[in-house]
Amino acid sequence: MSKLQFNITTSLDGYVAGPNQSLENPLGEGADHLHDWAVTTKFFRAIHGDTSGGETGINNDVLRQAFENIGATIMGRNMFGPVRGPWGKDAWNGWWGDNPPFHHPVFVLTHHEREPLSMKGGTTFFFVTDGAESALKQARQVAGGKDVMLGGGANVGQQYLAANLIDEIQIHLVPLLLGDGTRLFDNVDAQRVKLAPIRTVAGPDVTHLQYRFIK
């Protein structure tokens, strides 16, 4: 069976987003530089349609390897966009424009039904209203034997942690203190989570920590 991999960046004090996330501050206040380590890489720019350059090296290699065997992605509605409640007539289509960087099926956990949304480049967003386990089952069905990526955010990660469904987690730890916002491991029964280290890689401005969940 394919693995469910959780890939997420956190501040040094454990936050994956700052407070007061909004359309103007999608990562929350003070968190603008949380993903600087990734956005400067050649791989990140390439999957976003920019082939003009970008940095190679450790961070680029780690990011590229994380996406090598991914056939589907799961995310929460908060990662998909800032809109809450029913989708409405002019529904939000994601942060990524007409050609999102996934290029495979993406399953968005939500409480509100919506028809699938097909985008350029092979990305189709499916909106799942019957829970985390259903989203994972559907993602595995279309992944073609490849792994499934859990993209975030923290609330969705906590749901999958509570259900003991994550196989591996990769935390990109950046030397930034946010002081407030959304913590990755809040609302998690720490006694039930058992991890085995896979690797630690030090890159420019970030440390990449990879663990396997012991079940």
pLDDT in tens, 188-214: 888 889 999 999 999 999 999 999 999
The pLDDT of residue 164:
92
CATH number at residue 161: 3.40.430.10
The pLDDT of residue 86:
86
Flag whether 207 is in a domain.
Answer: yes
Q: Sheet containing 105-109: give its strands across.
A: 117-118, 124-128, 105-109, 70-76, 147-152, 4-11, 168-174, 206-213, 195-203
Tokens (6 digits) for 26: 């999608």
Count of the separate structural domains present in the chain: 1
Domain that holds residue 176: 4-17+27-213
Flag whether 10 is in a domain.
Answer: yes
Q: How confident is the model at residue 110 (pLDDT cuts 50, 70, 90)?
A: very high
Question: What's the average model confidence in pLDDT over 25-48?
Answer: 91
pLDDT tops 90 at residue 126: yes
The pLDDT of residue 95:
86
For the chain, the average pLDDT equals: 92
CA 169 to centroid of chain Cα atoms? 11
Rg for the chain, CA atoms, rounded: 17
- Rounded Cα gap, residues 93 and 105, in angstroms: 14
Which residues sit opposite 170 in a β-bridge? 7, 210
Question: What's the average model confidence in pLDDT over 167-185?
Answer: 95
Question: What's the average model confidence in pLDDT over 103-112?
Answer: 96
